[in-house]
Amino acid sequence: MKNLILEDLGLINYKKAWDYQIQLFNDMLLNKNNEQINQEHHILFCEHPHVFTNGKNGNHSNLLINNELLKEKEIEYYDIDRGGDITYHGPGQQVVYPILDLDEFGINTREYVHRLEESVINTLESFSIKAARLNGAAGIWLDVDDKSKCRKICAIGVKSSRRITMHGLALNINTDLKYFSFMNPCGFIDKGVTSMQKELGQIIDISLVKSKLWENLMVHFNIDSLVLGE
């Protein structure tokens, strides 16, 4: 049986959450293939204060404001080691960081991302929002068949080393979308960004979204039981 720990970190500084991920990630690397130790898999739920993060293949030109404006608007910025381009995190957005050993789940990285995507798509469907993948673009989108309306509702960017994962997904729930105007989201200049609040025309209970998202993650990753972290 896999040891899986679910932790809700609440609103947490990005760097603090990143450092915690690295700690858990390194512990899993150290313990990998040690038959004397049962690996502890973690899934972290959290929100962040305003921050832009740029993936290892990201283009700095996709950030449209300078350092002075970042400081003025109290937005942090980090270059990080996940895949994908620039993205935004902020209050009202649910971020999920799974730190998993994929060998123990019997899946590869592509299948891992597919299961994250399915979990988000099914969660949105339960709120009557029809979402899908978009060819050639990471994340989850709406109206993928209409270029003029296509818009992103969830970013996905992961890292995997020795098949252990970190980073993850960011679902826009009650996110203040004006912050996306300060960048080209994930490097795109011809596609919009949206949130559950915007699509449904009302404030969404984040706790309900978290509950449904966790249920779907349990289904798609075949998780039978878990421990709630402190």
- Encode burial over 123-132: b for 16+ CB neighbours within 10 A, e otherwise: bbeeeebebe
Distance between CA atoms of residues 214 and 211, nearest Å: 5
Q: Are 94 and 170 in contact (CB under 8 A)?
A: yes
For residue 159, report the phi and psi dihedrals to the nearest 5 degrees: -125, 145
β-strand pairing of 40-47 with 3-11: parallel
* CA angle centred on 185, ends 183 and 188, rounded to 5°: 110
- The number of helix segments (H) and strand segments (E) in the chain equals 6, 12
Q: Is 186 a catalytic residue?
A: yes
Distance between CA atoms of residues 169 and 151, nearest Å: 16
- CA 50, 19, 140, 208: dihedral to nearest 10 degrees? -80
Catalytic residue from among 46, 150, 154, 186: 186
Distance between CA atoms of residues 118 and 131, nearest Å: 10
Radius of gyration over every alpha carbon of the chain, rounded to an integer in angstroms = 17
Which residues are marked as active site?
Answer: 186
